[in-house]
Structure 1
Amino acid sequence: MCFLGWVISPYTGWTREHWAALADRLLLAARRHASPSHARVSFPGAPGGYGPDVDALEGFARTFLAAGFRVAGEAGHDPLGLMEWYAGGIAAGTDPHHPDRWVRLDEHGQAKVEAASIALVLHLTRPWLWDRLPPRVQEQVVDYLAPAVGADYPPINWVWFQIVVEQFLASVGGPYAQEDIDAGLALAESFERADGWYADGSERAYDHYAGWALHFYPLLWSEMAGRAPDPRYLARLERFLDDAVHLVGADGSPLIQGRSLAYRFAAATPFWVGARAGVGSPGLLRRAASGIVRHFAERGAPDEDGLLTLGWHGPYRGIAQDYSGPGSPYWAAKGLFGLALPADHPVWTAVEEPLPVETGDFTRVVRAPGWLVSGTRADGVVRVVNHGTDHSHEGSDLADAPLYARLGYSTATFPLLTGDPLDQSVAVLDEKGRASHRTGFTAGPVRALPSGTLTGSSRWRAHWGGQGPGPDHGYSRAGAGMRHGPEVEVVSLVRGAWEVRLTRLIGQPHRLRMGGWPSPEGGPATRVHGGPGLSEAGTEVAATPLGERTLVPWCATPGAAEPGRWYAAALLLGDGDQPPVIDDRKVTWPDGTIDDLPETVTLSGLSK
């Protein structure tokens, strides 16, 4: 098997057998933490923000995803007795009089999320589970799911949870409202953005939910409804995947950006969706998916007990949002969706193809989230310079969410999760040295120059303050008492491992600071070279899930920056001994390429 693995999987060595073994390990380990009825799977660890009853339901529903994919892809072959084991849990969980009964959809909103996973797997495994349930249990399941009908769901990816549950109810003769489904589909359409991307709601909310939710459910719902997928879904998915494969590092790390990162290899989900839908190259899709899951499997997730903890590689509680509990990381099971495809499917038999970052250096504009993407083959790192995403909207004037509003994210760095902006920031410092925020910025255009260099910009009014009250869901919360400062304009030019960052203040003079990449000690090199006027420099040390010693270089003006004057710095993540040379009108890159500065920028004086 080892030799065959490297023949068809020359980049990862992983075959379907590796995936199946991982799923089985996760499922058998979960059984050790189940109640006698199997309805509650309570993993060790401090309760999540929604309490132990929700945690136990998550533990059941999310591992049920892995079990369903495993059995569906084997056409019902089930040597571990997964369907029988989970059938027992369903019987107890949906029984309103059983001591292990589940939290209902009309008791806690999180049950609406988990109900969708349960309904989805009941559909995928119908001949081997639903059809064999006693009529009484079938009635209990319908009664448990029925509160979805006519209920309110947040206008984000949750809309698909209602659609999926009601479509399943319709398929088994239960109550449903076609108007709910139709309204949900229309709302989901409003999330569409450029080049096959979806935003998670009306805000500039771009993250892994685009792939593991907003591209996942449309195709599965189509199957549940017994209809061919809408050609628009397929076209969007194919275009999105063309961007998505560029956001995976050579070591398999997905882009470290956005909330719910404890779901880890759920990031592989859209590649399997593409395979199931027949879009994209099977060998490339499996290379991306196997790279992601192998990345975590070789770095402590699951751990030596076969468990997924709240963290990235190992445990790291600081990564959790308020909705995260010990069962939450098992949303990672969505990344095992490929197991629902049989062993003879082309995605399992094709030879792996290299990721874009493995074929050569590349630059790429991703328009919807406003990202300038750069991959370098030498180190396999993919970087994103962000001029379009903050999980908010223009003019919102909120404190920055570290997982959305930073100017840069990569596959090798983790943003600092606490404190005022430092890493990958342009900050105005107040009289106490506190750094300003940029959420609510105006996004400028992002584009590629004829040379291949990328450029983008954004502009905002600097503001100081903290997150407002309420639960931490990974994005900004409105608060009172924001203080305002000068406007800040930033223009980026990106090529290879370097970014040239141009900044000016418009308004009152303040001290200006530019922060670089937060690279873990022993990781890629990170440097900031400040140009004229940015004569102060230093390196801060902080902890992130990638290392207790994460280095963040910065440069700053020694006093107040001159309003209207452009300041320039070169920022590095990776290899690069010689920084770009920046003069009055042009940038000369280490590879000899010369790019003109934007017409609005003159470094020797004020802007035109």
Structure 2
Amino acid sequence: MTAVEDRRLSPYTGWTRGHWTAYADGLLAAVDRYRSPSGARIDLPGPASRNGRASDGLEGFARTFLIAGFRVAGEGGASDGGLLERYARGLAAGTDPASPEAWPRPGELGQSKVEAASIALVLQLTRPWLWDRLDDAVRERVVAWLATVIGQPYPPINWVWFRIVVESFLREAGGPWSAADIEEDLAVHASLRRPGGWLSDGDERAYDHYTGWALHLYPLLWTHLFDVTGSLCPGSLRHQWAADLRDYLDDAVRLVGTDGSPLLQGRSLTYRFAAAAPFWVGAFTGTSRLSPGLTRRVAGGMVRHFADRGAPDGLLTLGWHHAWPAMRQAYSGPGSPYWAAKGLLGLALPANHPVWTDVEEPLPLETGDVARVVTAPGWLVSGRRRDGIALVVNHGTDHARPGDPRGDAPLYARLGYSTATMPPLGSVPDNTVAALDADGRASHRAGFTTCYATELPGGVLAAASQGQVRWIDTSGDDSPDHGSGRSGPVVAGPVLTVASVVRGGVEVRLVRVDRVEGPVTSLRLTGWPVTDSAPPETDAACARTPELRSVLRSLRGFPIADVAVEAGVSPLGEWTAIPFLATGEPPEAGAVFAAVVVLDRGGPDEPDPSVTLTDGRSVTLTWPDGVTAEVALPAP
């Protein structure tokens, strides 16, 4: 990045709009050498997805087309150095059935339904400069290709918006479309709404970045870019969506670390700074209650986080900061990471918009500590200004339904997620309370019941969940990875109630064993994973890197304290350490255990509370400064 930083206008990131445009242009320049002869495919290096190379080439075209569209729209169609012309050639070839570069049709391949939406969105956004200048024959072929979505089945998740966007473009382009399709898809979206502006990506407890970069992105863009308000979309519905987005952004802005990292939780993390998309939607459509300066701060922080850590103006690889193929889902191809383009939506706003001219404002975590209950996903959101790490304690999200017998999905079912750590793919799962069998296998908790997530007096947050844990042999499940846990033969284990109490950014984790069942030999509680290029320093149940510290302290019932260290299990570094506490023997029914769980960047330890067991159904925590909290451990 060659532009000079402007710390007056952008005191937190240093980036101006010029840095953004240079970054976007660098991304587009890097993929140019991978364009097919007629430009319909961008065939990036890397392993093919399960959909095949032709689909992957379309994906590379469609997702980088988003970047090009945002750039051109933000400049009002000014000279783009032939950028749109290159994509126009690709449109002509890709929609030509006789071309060797013909795209798989949406009516033939599911992934084409996804990419069709990006193409339709950009055609609408840049209509005066691209669509209106295409030859009639090309426009007819594009309409014919897009029209194969009509009447097609779409999964009842964020995908319904792909059909809404495509058919809305067809409607305005004079092509065929189906009002019944759009009505059906809007009903699906309505079924995904949850309290506080959140949306679940399906009927499972699937709370992740798709809430923002898909389920909040498309509805308001749809009403803003297409002539649908009052006809296909009642005005009251748009107001509802705007209110939902405002509430969601109030939470989302607290889920970003001061280093710009979004929360490392949920599937498709290889989309990286696509997590900035809902913030830009709020500004683009005029519906956000966040100030323009804060919007640029949070979005710019995310993009620069990756630009400075291995995702510069070159190729976006399958990984996080660097390439890490193990992050792939079954649908991930070499072009998949370019859904990150959604995080560049702000470039579609002109240079004189307040998001580009106002001075950056600090994140909530840069002005004070954060403590917040987010009801829908069952999260306690916490962060200390001194550390700059946003974290959630999770008692409501598992990409499953209550009673689900599948295994834990690491990116959903852990008890904690943060902006500085990622669940490793090793033999010891982080942030769990698990029963161990004779072979040392840890039990799974997905399918639990959420008991509550609430704020108590004294600035204390509390949440609890319970359920029967189990051991699962998932070795025979080779089904595509779409985020859910894997299936296999089940051995039932104990019934556990787990509660988390958070004060001042520190968690006290409580466990009650409600019923002992199965071949349990020990109860183990694991903490936060810390990762570095060298093995972390360890001492009892404490692991340190130059940047992070993960600590467990037993308050009740755990005589064993140690650290598990493994290599090659995380995209954040070569070595990962996870502190753990254990009983070393089978727990008794009714037994209550407690531990302090800490993730920080070092510094003085907060004093631990005392633990008083009231009647087996509640615990009283008392801190040295006199603050007390009575925490319920509900009966099963």
Alignment TM-score, normalising by the size of structure 2:
0.91
**Aligned partners of 1:293 and 1:225: how far apart in 2?**
28
State the Cα distance separating 1:589 from its structure 2 match. Answer: 4.4
1:476 to 474, 485, 502: 485
The aligned residue for residue 283 of structure 1 is: 293
| 2:597 matches 1:568 | no
State the Cα distance separating 1:583 from its structure 2 match. Answer: 2.4
State the Cα distance separating 1:588 from its structure 2 match. Answer: 4.1
| 2:610 matches 1:582 | yes
The aligned residue for residue 630 of structure 2 is: 597
The aligned residue for residue 172 of structure 1 is: 173
**Aligned partners of 2:294 and 2:574: how far apart in 1?**
34
**Aligned partners of 1:129 and 1:176: how far apart in 2?**
22
State the Cα distance separating 1:80 from its structure 2 match. Answer: 2.4
State the Cα distance separating 1:113 from its structure 2 match. Answer: 0.2
After TM superposition, the structure 1 = structure 2 runs for residues 107-118 of structure 1, keeping only pairs within 5 Å, are: 107-118=108-119
Name the amino acid aligned to 1:513. R
1:456 to 454, 458, 463: 463
Given that residues 512 and 633 in structure 2 are in contact (C-alpha distance below 8 angstroms), is that contact kept between their aligned partners in structure 1? no
Name the amino acid aligned to 2:481. D
State the Cα distance separating 1:159 from its structure 2 match. Answer: 0.4
Deviations 1:230-258 (A, max 9, x none): 10111111111000100000000000000
| 2:512 matches 1:514 | no
The aligned residue for residue 296 of structure 1 is: 306
State the Cα distance separating 1:497 from its structure 2 match. Answer: 3.3
Given that residues 3 and 18 in structure 2 are in contact (C-alpha distance below 8 angstroms), is that contact kept between their aligned partners in structure 1? no
The aligned residue for residue 316 of structure 1 is: 324
After TM superposition, the structure 1 = structure 2 runs for residues 521-536 of structure 1, keeping only pairs within 5 Å, are: 521=532, 522=545, 523-536=547-560
After TM superposition, the structure 1 = structure 2 runs for residues 122-521 of structure 1, keeping only pairs within 5 Å, are: 122-228=123-229, 230-278=238-286, 279-280=288-289, 281-302=291-312, 306-419=314-427, 422-467=429-474, 468-477=477-486, 479-508=487-516, 510=520, 511-521=522-532
Name the amino acid aligned to 1:151. Q
**Aligned partners of 2:26 and 2:207: how far apart in 1?**
32
**Aligned partners of 1:529 and 1:396: how far apart in 2?**
32
State the Cα distance separating 1:597 from its structure 2 match. Answer: 3.2
Task: Answer with 454-463 or 271-280: which moved more.
Answer: 271-280
State the Cα distance separating 1:599 from its structure 2 match. Answer: 4.8
**Aligned partners of 1:95 and 1:527: how far apart in 2?**
60
State the Cα distance separating 1:171 from its structure 2 match. Answer: 0.6
Runs of 5+ consecutive residues of structure 2 not aligned to the other structure: 230-234, 533-544, 613-618
CA change 1:4–1:331 in 2 (3 A) is closer
1:504 alignment partner, SS class: strand
Name the amino acid aligned to 1:288. V
The aligned residue for residue 584 of structure 2 is: 558
**Aligned partners of 2:4 and 2:570: how far apart in 1?**
38
Given that residues 302 and 309 in structure 1 are in contact (C-alpha distance below 8 angstroms), is that contact kept between their aligned partners in structure 2? no
Given that residues 460 and 629 in structure 2 are in contact (C-alpha distance below 8 angstroms), is that contact kept between their aligned partners in structure 1? no
Given that residues 167 and 224 in structure 1 are in contact (C-alpha distance below 8 angstroms), is that contact kept between their aligned partners in structure 2? no
State the Cα distance separating 1:579 from its structure 2 match. Answer: 4.8
State the Cα distance separating 1:225 from its structure 2 match. Answer: 3.1
**Aligned partners of 1:5 and 1:200: how far apart in 2?**
39
State the Cα distance separating 1:489 from its structure 2 match. Answer: 0.5
Deviations 1:272-325 (A, max 9, x none): 00111222211111110000000000001136xx11000000110111111111
1:8 alignment partner, SS class: coil
State the Cα distance separating 1:578 from its structure 2 match. Answer: 4.4
Given that residues 403 and 417 in structure 1 are in contact (C-alpha distance below 8 angstroms), is that contact kept between their aligned partners in structure 2? no
Name the amino acid aligned to 1:567. F
**Aligned partners of 1:251 and 1:427: how far apart in 2?**
32
2:371 alignment partner, SS class: strand
Task: Answer with 217-226 or 204-213: which moved more.
Answer: 217-226
Given that residues 105 and 145 in structure 2 are in contact (C-alpha distance below 8 angstroms), is that contact kept between their aligned partners in structure 1? yes
The aligned residue for residue 562 of structure 2 is: 538
Deviations 1:372-422 (A, max 9, x none): 010111110011000000011111121000000000000000101354x62
2:253 alignment partner, SS class: helix
1:506 alignment partner, SS class: strand
CA change 1:455–1:135 in 2 (3 A) is same
Task: Answer with 93-102 or 517-526: which moved more.
Answer: 517-526
1:291 alignment partner, SS class: helix
Moved over 3 A (4+): 1-4, 466-469
Given that residues 66 and 341 in structure 2 are in contact (C-alpha distance below 8 angstroms), is that contact kept between their aligned partners in structure 1? yes
Given that residues 256 and 262 in structure 2 are in contact (C-alpha distance below 8 angstroms), is that contact kept between their aligned partners in structure 1? yes
**Aligned partners of 2:46 and 2:160: how far apart in 1?**
30
**Aligned partners of 2:202 and 2:420: how far apart in 1?**
28
**Aligned partners of 1:441 and 1:8: how far apart in 2?**
48
The aligned residue for residue 604 of structure 1 is: none
Given that residues 16 and 343 in structure 1 are in contact (C-alpha distance below 8 angstroms), is that contact kept between their aligned partners in structure 2? yes
Given that residues 403 and 475 in structure 1 are in contact (C-alpha distance below 8 angstroms), is that contact kept between their aligned partners in structure 2? no
**Aligned partners of 1:227 and 1:165: how far apart in 2?**
13
State the Cα distance separating 1:2 from its structure 2 match. Answer: 6.7
Given that residues 497 and 633 in structure 2 are in contact (C-alpha distance below 8 angstroms), is that contact kept between their aligned partners in structure 1? no
The aligned residue for residue 536 of structure 2 is: none
**Aligned partners of 1:464 and 1:269: how far apart in 2?**
39
State the Cα distance separating 1:4 from its structure 2 match. Answer: 7.4
Given that residues 427 and 512 in structure 1 are in contact (C-alpha distance below 8 angstroms), is that contact kept between their aligned partners in structure 2? yes
**Aligned partners of 2:157 and 2:426: how far apart in 1?**
26
**Aligned partners of 1:516 and 1:258: how far apart in 2?**
19
**Aligned partners of 2:140 and 2:20: how far apart in 1?**
35
CA change 1:29–1:151 in 2 (3 A) is same
CA change 1:2–1:56 in 2 (3 A) is closer
Once superposed, what is the RMSD of the aligned Cα atoms?
A: 1.7
1:583 alignment partner, SS class: strand
Alignment TM-score, normalising by the size of structure 1:
0.96
**Aligned partners of 2:576 and 2:630: how far apart in 1?**
32
CA change 1:259–1:454 in 2 (3 A) is same
